[in-house]
């Protein structure tokens, strides 16, 4: 598994498994646990979740699935903006650790910007890091003005900015990507296949996929993996789909492929706000 190096020096895999919508139904608990274990067997080492997913239910699924395998994994979780006070973020982290049945989260993110002063949020994150309960911290759904509002002492220490990013939604490229990459902060692309969108129906992607003997989903993921300092975290409820998605790591897009995709899905040419899904 290819990895990126965070500003802290820690390594993060470039490919992971999203868990949105997991943990919402008790009767699916075992199936979801088995799915995650199967993904680990395939070579997945990064798992992304949040306290919002199933109101902690997804973290409980993960906690059961990774029992005995924690040391080999990179865990990402996110906390609600209303838990972003100095004490609130510490308490939220403690609850997540209990559900995950582990003593440390590798990357802990503020899920989206809220109303609590960021000085408080990052003071809490710093305390968690110093106590060893998290290794790195970062943000999610932060646009340029949100990033600039982060206290200066923490800006160059962010372990990630998780954003809605795929070929059909290249809004992060207007300004956010440059701001992050200048500081060595990876972008984590959620919904990389534009779930619910028209992306995978594109005739251009289909042509590139045919040339590589690949699927449109694999090409869409390979394009993101070609972008600098970018991590992808597709979610799937089927193990075969996870296996297929992983094959995107082995696809090398040519300059012609990239030009065709760029022409069909151009980057923004004016200031645009981040999308969120």
Q: Is 53 a catalytic residue?
A: yes
Q: Find all residues with CB under 8 Å of 249, minimum gap 6, and list them.
A: 1, 2, 14, 15, 222, 225
The answer to whether 38 touches 240, Cβ cutoff 8 Å, is no
Residues 113, 146: Cα–Cα separation, whole Å: 7
Sign of CA dihedral 244, 106, 109, 265: negative
Q: Can you tell me the distance from the alpha carbon of 260 to that of 239, in angstroms, rounded to the nearest whole number? A: 31
Structure tokens at 129: 């890091």
247 Cβ neighbours under 8 A, 6+ residues apart: 214, 218
| Residues carrying an active site annotation | 53
């Amino acid at each position: 598994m290819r990895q990126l190096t965070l500003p802290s020096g820690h390594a993060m895999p470039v490919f992971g498994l999203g868990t949105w919508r997991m943990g919402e139904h008790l009767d699916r608990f075992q199936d979801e646990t088995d799915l995650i274990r199967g993904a680990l067997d395939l070579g997945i080492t990064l798992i992304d979740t949040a306290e919002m997913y199933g109101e902690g239910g997804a973290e409980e699924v993960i906690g059961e699935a990774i029992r005995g395998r924690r040391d080999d994994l990179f865990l990402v979780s996110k906390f609600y903006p209303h838990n972003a006070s100095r004490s609130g973020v510490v308490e939220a982290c403690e609850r997540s650790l209990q559900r995950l049945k582990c003593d440390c989260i590798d990357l802990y993110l503020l899920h989206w910007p809220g109303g609590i002063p960021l000085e408080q949020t990052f003071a809490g994150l710093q305390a968690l890091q110093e106590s060893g309960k998290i290794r790195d911290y970062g943000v999610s759904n932060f646009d340029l003005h949100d990033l600039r509002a982060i206290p200066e002492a923490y800006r160059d220490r962010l372990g990630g900015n998780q954003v809605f990013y795929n070929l059909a939604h290249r809004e992060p490229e207007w300004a956010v990507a440059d701001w992050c990459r200048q500081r060595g902060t990876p972008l984590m692309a959620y919904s990389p296949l534009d779930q619910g969108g028209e992306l995978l129906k594109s005739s251009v992607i289909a042509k590139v996929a045919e040339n590589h003997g690949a699927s449109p989903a694999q090409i869409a993921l390979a394009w993101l993996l070609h972008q600098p300092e970018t991590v992808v975290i597709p979610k799937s409820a089927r193990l075969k789909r996870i296996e297929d998605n992983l094959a995107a790591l082995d696809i090398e897009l040519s300059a012609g492929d990239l030009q065709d995709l760029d022409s069909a899905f151009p980057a923004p040419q004016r200031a645009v706000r981040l999308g969120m899904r």
